[in-house]
Amino acid sequence: MEIEEQIRANPIDAVVLLTSVHLEGMARGVVMGEVLTPDGQLALRRWTADGGGFMGIHSAACTEYDWPYYGELLGARFAGHPDFQSGTVLVEDRSHPSMRHLPPRWDWNDEWYDFRSNPRRPGVQVLATIDEAGYEGGGMGADHPLVWCKESGDGRLFYTSLGHADDAYTDPAFRGHLLGGLRWTAG
């Protein structure tokens, strides 16, 4: 079933676009490039305009480059990343359900996404950044958001750039991060 058919046909609380890696035993969406048809774009736009939640995970920032609304919804577009490596995630808001179980400085291994623009702006709540001094190849400088959320009308958006490796999805801290983000997104 196409993504847009699922959006139209199922009573749901949130739409999630997940990274394109294979996750054993989990449903996945292939998310890179242009993945929605014009009908799918319309369905997602209506969904979010009507107060539906949208959660993007990792490569959800690498999709729908030709659709300006999606870029506005997500808040930033993927620009590139250095090699997969360890780094320190700096949790900015431990009161958010996706972050409350994490320490203020969380050591993690991932692809550290750089974005074409910084998503930090009025109305956007940055939940975590990365300390670029702690890894090689960062391209955003001292303020490098990794996780953010925003409320838009009655709807909510949550995005995490984390989650490249399959084993991330078996890590209790990361699973708690995703579950908290999903619960917040679904309202």
Domain range annotation of the chain: 3-79+115-129+143-186
> For position 10, what pLDDT does the model report?
62
Would you say how long the chain is, in residues? 187
163: left (phi over 0), alpha (psi -120 to 50) or beta: left
Per the CB < 8 A criterion, the answer to whether 73 and 47 are in contact is no
> For position 107, what pLDDT does the model report?
96
Per the CB < 8 A criterion, the answer to whether 127 and 135 are in contact is no
Tell me which residues of the chain have a pLDDT lower than 70.
1-35
Q: What is the pLDDT of residues 97-129, one digit of tens each?
A: 999 999 999 999 999 999 999 999 999 999 999
The domain defined by 3-79+115-129+143-186 folds into Rossmann fold (3.40.50)
> For position 76, what pLDDT does the model report?
93
What are the residues whose beta carbons fall under 8 Å from the beta carbon of 46, sequence distance 6 or more? none
> What is the four-CA torsion angle of 23, 150, 4, 110, rounded to 10 degrees?
-20
